[in-house]
Chain A
C-alpha cells in the first residue's frame, strides 16, 4: 500500500491489453493498451469520435471488446454487462445524471442495494451510513433531502457518493465539468483529489486541457482509435498534448474559399446578447461568408444556435437584420426573417421521421405560406431542381424520412430551407452521424450556398470541420464568444482557447 502512490514500476491496478473493437465497417479501437494505477488520476483525452467513449464502454462492461483483455490486480477479468463491471469495483459517473428526483439522498444512494433485515428496510441504518458517506466526502447535505430539489452540482456530488458508497476501486468520470459552473468545478476537483488520496484508480475524461493539467497525474491520448500517447502529465505541456490529439485534416474534403467578398447583404448582427447560458454575445453574420463557431460541450454552443433560431431567443440584446431591428422570440419569426435552422438533433428536431420525405421537404413552405402541400407539376419541377442542387436522388418521395441514411436526411433538412430560399442558415453539428462521402457533399454545398450570397453559421464541436469550412472561426467558452481566428489558425491554439486557462 505504501508504494501505491509513488512507485512508477508498481503493478498497475487495472490494465487494458490490446483492446480492439469494430462496429460494422468502423474500427473504433485498434489494439489499445493502457495501465491505470491506484492513487492516481488518469486523464483520457481525444477528439470527438476518436474512440474515447468506446474505450470507456469497454471499461464499464457496456460493450465487449472484439480482442484484448482487461486485467485487474494481475488477474484477467471479463465484463459483458455493466453489473459485472460493478462487481469488479468499476463504477462510472455519467455525464447525464441517473438519479431519482422524488427520493431522498439516502434512498438514492441505496437504490438497488437497499439494506434489508428480515424483509424490512433498515431506514435508520441507511440514513446513518449515508450521513457517514456524506461526511467522509465533506458534502454538507442532510440524507433526508429530496434529490430533485438540489442544484446540478450537488446532484453530481450525490452521484459520486453513490459510486463510492460501496466497494469501488476504479471510478470513471465522463466529462464531469461540462454542466458545472467554475466554483462547482473547484469543489468537484477537491473531492476527486480526496478520492485519489483514499487509494482509488480515477479515470478522468475531458476535453479541457486546463483540467487535465490541473488534476491528472497521467494522461492518455486516443486518436483515430489508437493510443497516441500515454505519459505522466508532468512530462508534457498542453501544446504537445493537443498536437497529439489532433486528427488528420480532411483537406481534400473541404472546398476552396473564394476570398473576402466584403460586406454583402444579408447581415445578421447580435449585440450584447444574453440568454440561458449565454452572455455578451456579439456576433455578425455576413452574406457570402461561412462563420464557424467552435465550442466544447457545455460552452453554450447549442444554446447560441437555439437563440439565433428564437427558441428561446436572447433575453437581452439587440438583433438586427440588414441594419433593421428584428424581434427573434420564436421560430416563426426566425423563418419569416429568412433564417433556416438545421438542428443538432436531426432525428427529433430536424425531421418528422415517420413522415414522407416529401412532407418533410415541404414543411417550411407550408408553415410560411399556409399552403397545404398538394403536389402540382410546377412544384415537382422545383423539387427536382432543389434535390439536384443538394445531390439527393430519392427513389420514393413518399417513403418515410427514417428510411434515409444520415447524410440524405440532412440533405432533406437543407432542401427544406432552400425551397423557401432562406438567406441565413444556422447549422448545428451539420455532419454528426453522417458518413464521410456525404460530409464532403454537405461541405461543398454549404460553400456553394455561401457563394450565392447566403450568410451561413456552422456551430460544431469538431474542430477540423470548423477550421476546414469556415471563413472565420469564433471560439465559444463559458457562454460567450472568446476569440476569433482566421481559418488557417493552428488547431492547437483554437483548442487551448476553447478549453480555458489553467486555474490552478
Chain B
C-alpha cells in the first residue's frame, strides 16, 4: 500500500505541475512563435529578437503588478476598480514626498505601500461588512481618491531621485531590473496561492462562499485580506510607474486604463469573474498577451485603433473559449 503511493508520487507531481500551467500560456507561446516569420518580413526595426521580448516584458511590468493584485480579489469573487486611482495616488505621493531626495525613498515607499493596503482594507470593509456590490464600492473609493488628488495636485508633483529610477531602468546580470522584480512577485504570489492556507481559503471562498463558511473558513477575513493585497499591489504598481516616469501626475493611473486592463488580463488568464478559478501564471500570460499585441503592432506599424479592436476581440474570444470548455466539463 505504501509503496503504491511512493510510486505514484513523481507521476502525480508532474501532472500536478502540468495542470498548473494555464492553457493560455500555450496560446502565448504559439503567438510568439507565429510572430517570428511575421516580424522577420514586415518589421520596421529588425525581426524577433531578445530585445523585442525584453522590451515587451519591461513595458508589461506595471500592468502585471496590478493584475496580480486583481487576481486575488477576482479569485474570491470580488473585483477592484479603484486600482487605477490608487496607482495615481501612489505615483503622485512618491514624487511629492521624495522631491528628488534619495534619503526619502525609505520613508516614501513603506508609507505608500501601507496606504495602498489601507485603501484595500476600506474596500474590503465596504464589500463584506456593508454588503456593497464590489463594482460600486471600489469605483466609489476610486472616485474619492481621484477627487482628492485632483484638488490637491494639478500637475506633475515633484520628482523622484535618479537612484530611485534604477528600479525601472537599472540592469542586473545584463537584464533589465524590472524583469527580476516581476519574476519575484509572480513567484511570491504563486507561493501564497498554491502553498499557503490563505491561498486555499481564497479559492474556497471564491468557489462556494456558503460551503466555505460551513467548512469553518472565516470568509470575511479572507475577502478583506484579498482586497488589502490588491490595494497594496496597486500602490506598488504606482511606485514602479513613477520610477519609469520620473514624476507622478493625477492622471497616470486612469490614462493607463489599469483598472479595466488588469481585469481583462486576469480573465484572459483563465480566471472566472465569479471566483474560485484562476491563478497568477494565467494572469501573467494574460498580461503578456496584451503587451505582446501592443509591441507587435508597434513593430509592424499598424494603426493603433485597429490594435484596440483586436484586443477587444481577444478578450471576448478567450472568455468564450473558457465558458464553452467549462460547459463541456460539466456535461
Contacts and interface: CB of A to CB of B under 8 A. Distances in A.
Given A121-B195, A131-B5, A144 B15 contact: yes
A124 B330 contact: no
Contact of B211 (A100, A107, A121, A149): A100
B214 A98 contact: yes
A485 B195 CA distance: 61
Q: Using C-beta atoms within 8 Å of the partner chain, give the interface range for chain A.
A: 20 to 34
Nearest to A87: B216
Interface stretch (A109-117, A277-285, A341-349): A109-117
B217 A111 contact: yes
Nearest to B4: A131
B303 interface: no
B215 A112 contact: yes
Contacts of A101: 207-208, 276
A176 B21 CA distance: 37
Nearest to A131: B5
Contact of B197 (A99, A121, A128): A121
A368 B29 CA distance: 55
Interface in B263-312: 272, 276-277
B12 A127 contact: yes
Interface in A253-310: none
Contacts of A121: 194-197, 199-200
A116 B192 CA distance: 13
Interface string B187-210: 000000011110111011001101
B74 to A, nearest CB: 13
B202 to A, nearest CB: 11
B9 interface: yes
Given A111-B215, A121-B196, A127-B12, A100 B204 contact: yes
A98 B215 contact: yes
Contacts of B5: 128, 131
B212 interface: yes
B196 A98 contact: no
Contact of B212 (A82, A111, A116, A146): A111
A21 to B, nearest CB: 21
Contacts of A119: 196-197
B15 to A, nearest CB: 7
A112 B276 contact: no
Given A102-B207, A102-B272, A124-B9, A82 B196 contact: no
Contacts of A99: 208, 211
A1 B116 CA distance: 59
A127 B16 CA distance: 11
Contact of A83 (B201, B203, B216): B216
Give 3 nearest A-B pairs by CB, closest first: A112-B215, A98-B211, A100-B207
5 contacts: A86-B216, A98-B215, A100-B203, A120-B196, A146-B329
Interface of A: 82-83, 86, 98-103, 107, 110-114, 116, 119-121, 123-124, 127-128, 131, 135, 144, 146, 148-149
Given A111-B212, A113-B216, A128-B5, 19 more contacts: A98-B210, A98-B214, A99-B208, A100-B208, A101-B276, A102-B203, A102-B207, A103-B203, A103-B207, A110-B200, A111-B215, A111-B217, A112-B217, A120-B196, A121-B194, A121-B200, A124-B9, A131-B8, A144-B12
